[in-house]
Structure 1
């Protein structure tokens, strides 16, 4: 769980349910932590709560978490401070489908955007079992089967009218209406471009698929809530230079540079998120480390190097995805 460290409210006193009729578990209050590998934004903390649970047998279960503490002042949710926070995950226990782990999401669900500048975000998801993933937007919920009240998509016209932007030309190029969409295959969210400054909440579903006897079978899903903070920035968007997709033979070493530039020559930070950095044996590296902001000037680019000595044990049906982020 990602938390607001500027608030005195701590994670806890929420209801964790397993969807099998067992009593709800009331989560304890836990302090914020700041894992160095997450590179969290300012005033953002991280809390982990672990518990073991045994399900009664095969079946379809909705694991859910309900908590009273949602941020105040969210623009696209009515009365957000008095709206409960709710997330859920579906797991399917079926001996004929085999074991299944839920997707892992590596990129924190808190990001910043600028009014009038196209915004991109990818959750950096992968499936430990190699299952395929698909993505779709859903309305954030305040309880099981209950959507939050008066939710509006972030590209709704009212958020542009309130600051005097022409909705018909409010995209970054100034030649069309703003769009807000998620790629169903890669999971990349595109908002071209944000309007009124403030905080927006969105939610999306990540669905697992496994091919069995030639047919794609759904294995469950995870729902992620995300916060996007839009600021009225006098700033142009930085750019990444990333090589095209690769196909290599197991045993070969992959090595390439990722470059970052900025039209304003602001310092930038390049991050990478992927399963390959934690794979065992022979994980990949992204150097230099620790990741820091790098100085830019005319003719000087930021640079990070990805290196991975692949092995036969790394072979799998689905490709490995690496998400690069420049800030």
Structure 2
């Protein structure tokens, strides 16, 4: 005689016994905790990165002759060389910022460190990162963001691209595509240089991000002035300038009169090898220290796993009830 088994219930399935449900609850709790951690805790850059200089512009007060501190132990503080500037707030209203202010008929302000103590000399590979915000009502072209004597100048142009120009003899240059960034919002940038590469385009990379979008490598880089990538290696760097004009030597200076905020400028580099040209992961970690927002892909994956887990459990329970 055939025996008919009673229908299976939830309690017959080991997955839904009380002890299993408790284990499931703990697993779900851990998953939720992981999601919260990804949302609330920004990425951390590696402690062994060769950071040579960092300027946060957090002083908030002071005029001509005042100092904005180097946040490293190298002591390359910048001196405000005129009163033609303003203090401001940084990315998303956090921290400080420095605003180079343009005035009609005058060259723009320069924040300068002279007699640099050799920190930036003879770098074979290096990376410059930072944040800038160019005001939309400014039409001047070729306004510099930062310049290293016997190194390079990074310029913001009227067509919203970055122009990376060697300040050594011959002055080769590369540029990003038009409209690489937007006006009136904080833009994260990173420029990496490997002076031992085979060409300008293989030796220089540029990254862009925003306060809510992680940086990615810029595409469409082109050569402005041809020359050897070796000319981007630094020589005897006697001055660093945070400025909004190109030529920063005296009243005959040339370039644009533009209003530009800058904050958290950093220089990484080494005098031998290629490790000073940071990779994409390190650049994203540097960005996240200021942006302090989760990378969308990470959060999306974790949320997707959580949703999939709950949907799977619900389907199993529905089948067992049927």
Q: TM-score, normalised by structure 1?
A: 0.28
Is the radius of gyration larger for structure 1 or structure 2?
2
Q: TM-score, normalised by structure 2?
A: 0.28
Name the structure where helix makes up a greater proportion of residues.
2
Name the structure where strand makes up a greater proportion of residues.
1
